[in-house]
C-alpha cells in the first residue's frame, strides 16, 4: 500500500487553527460546518426514504389495481342483459376513477410529507446556524491605551 504524499497529508483543522482571526472562534465555525453537513445528510436520507416509500406504495397500488381490473373483466364478461352490463360497466368505471383519484392524492400526500420533513431538518439547522453565528462573531474586546 502506498503512503499518502506529504502534500496531501495535511491536518486542515490544525492549519486553520494557526490562523487566528480576532473575534472569531474557529473551533465553533468548524463545529457549525460539521453540523451543517450532518443536517444536509439527514435531509437527503429523509428525502430518499420518502421516495422509497412512495415507490413501494405505488407498486402496491399497481398490484391492487391489476387484481381489481382482472375481477372487473370477469364481472363484465359474465352473461346478462346488455342494459345490465352497461350499468355494471358504468359503475365499475366510476369506482375505478374515484379510486385512481384517491390513490393519486395518497401518493401526493406521501411525497409532500417526505419533502416537508426534509425541509424542516434544513430549516432547523439554518436557524441554529444563525444563533451559532452570533456566538462565533464575538465583539472584539476594546484595547486599553
Compute how many other C-beta atoms are within 10 angstroms of the C-beta atom of residue 2: 4
Low-confidence ranges of the chain (pLDDT < 70): 1-25, 136-145
Copy the grid coordinates of residue 74. Answer: 370477469
pLDDT at 137: 67
**Which contiguous run of DSSP H or E holds residue 100?**
helix 82-136
pLDDT in tens, 34-52: 899 999 999 999 999 999 9
The residue assigned the cell 411525497 is 111
pLDDT at 78: 77
pLDDT at 143: 57
Q: Name 90's Cβ contacts closer than 8 Å, sequence gap at least 6.
A: none
The residue assigned the cell 446556524 is 129
Q: Angle, nearest 10°, between helix axes 26-77 and 82-136? A: 180
pLDDT at 19: 62
pLDDT at 86: 84
The answer to whether 23 and 130 have CB atoms below 8 angstroms apart is no
pLDDT at 20: 64
The residue assigned the cell 462565533 is 136
Indicate yes or no: pTM above 0.85: no
Distance CA 143, CA 23 (A): 13
Amino acid at each position: 500500500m502506498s503512503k499518502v504524499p506529504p502534500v496531501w497529508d495535511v491536518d486542515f483543522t490544525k492549519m486553520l487553527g494557526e490562523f487566528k482571526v480576532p473575534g472569531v472562534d474557529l473551533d465553533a465555525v468548524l463545529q457549525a460546518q460539521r453540523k451543517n453537513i450532518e443536517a444536509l445528510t439527514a435531509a437527503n436520507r429523509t428525502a430518499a426514504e420518502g421516495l422509497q416509500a412512495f415507490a413501494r406504495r405505488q407498486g402496491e397500488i399497481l398490484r391492487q389495481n391489476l387484481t381489481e381490473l382482472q375481477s372487473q373483466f370477469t364481472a363484465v364478461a359474465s352473461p346478462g342483459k346488455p342494459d345490465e352490463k352497461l350499468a355494471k360497466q358504468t359503475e365499475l368505471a366510476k369506482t375505478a376513477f374515484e379510486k385512481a383519484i384517491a390513490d393519486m392524492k395518497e401518493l401526493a400526500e406521501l411525497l409532500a410529507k417526505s419533502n416537508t420533513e426534509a425541509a424542516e431538518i434544513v430549516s432547523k439547522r439554518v436557524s441554529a446556524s444563525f444563533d451559532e453565528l452570533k456566538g462565533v462573531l464575538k465583539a472584539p474586546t476594546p484595547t486599553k491605551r
